[in-house]
Amino acid sequence: MFKICRTCGKEYKVIPSQAEKSKTCSRSCQNEYFRSGIFKGSNNPMFGKPRPDLAKLNKSKKHIETVAEFHRGRKRTAATKKLIGIKSRASRLAQGWWQGESNPMKIPNWNNRQDYGTPLNRKIRKQVLERDNHTCIVCKTKFQDKDLHTHHKIPRRKKGTDDLDNLVTVCKNCHPSLDYEIIKQEKLYAKRG
């Protein structure tokens, strides 16, 4: 079965079961059809009719707006939160899924900045990026400077230096996986004693 698109005027094929509903040939024509304002005001098929969702609930629009206004900005009691299953941030954190030793990304002395010293010198960073040709050593993809990081082979927390031999170029996507591998190895060696 064929119909004519109400937006572009082209003829298009339609499934017989959708023939009554279909009005446009494509999604872009459909978007333009709805944006044209054809359904505003009295042209809207639901104009002046009761809303079916409100009719089912047997509540008027005014009643729903009043209830919504009443609850807007109010704090829920602990009993209500428990009833509807909302947990506070503190209680979610207290469950300890990603805390302490169970956190796979935990880095010892993370808050103690003395192990890391000052940020990497811009000149050194530029030298490392140029040496590695602005290419990630992991995925071998070339990136712009803003998407590249310099990674310490021996981390600063393990007394690694900012020498060019200790620095490599990695992209921002590969850097976390490298750090994760180092942390995993550190934990493995720590367990062995």
Per-residue pLDDT of 50-63, as tens digits, reads 666 655 555 566 76
CA distances to 9, 33, 76, 159 from 5, in Å:
5, 10, 51, 70
Per-residue pLDDT of 158-193, as tens digits, reads 888 888 999 999 998 888 888 788 777 777 777 765
3 state SS of 151: strand
Residue 19: which residues within 8 A CB-CB, separation 6 or more? 1, 3
Name the percent of the chain lying above pLDDT 90. 10
What span, in angstroms and rounded, lies between the C-alpha atoms of 132 and 76? 56
CA distances to 61, 183, 187, 189 from 193, in Å:
69, 15, 10, 6
For the cut 50, the answer to whether the pLDDT of residue 42 exceeds it is yes
pLDDT reported for residue 132:
92
For the chain, the first-to-last Cα distance in angstroms comes to: 77
For the cut 70, the answer to whether the pLDDT of residue 40 exceeds it is yes
CA atoms within 13 A on the CB side of 125: 12
φ, ψ for residue 48 (rounded to 5)?
80, -5
67-86 core/surface letters (b: 16 or more CB in 10 A; e: else): eeeeeeeeeeeeeeeeeeee
pTM of the predicted model, to two decimals? 0.40
Per-residue pLDDT of 117-141, as tens digits, reads 567 788 999 999 999 999 999 899 8
pLDDT reported for residue 168:
92
Domain boundaries for CATH 3.40.1800 within the chain: 118-192
So what CATH class is 118-192? alpha beta
Query: By the 8 A CB rule, do 40 and 34 touch?
Result: no
CA atoms within 13 A on the CB side of 23: 10
Query: Of residues 94 and 23, which shows the higher confidence score?
Result: 23
φ, ψ for residue 12 (rounded to 5)?
-140, 155
For the cut 50, the answer to whether the pLDDT of residue 3 exceeds it is yes
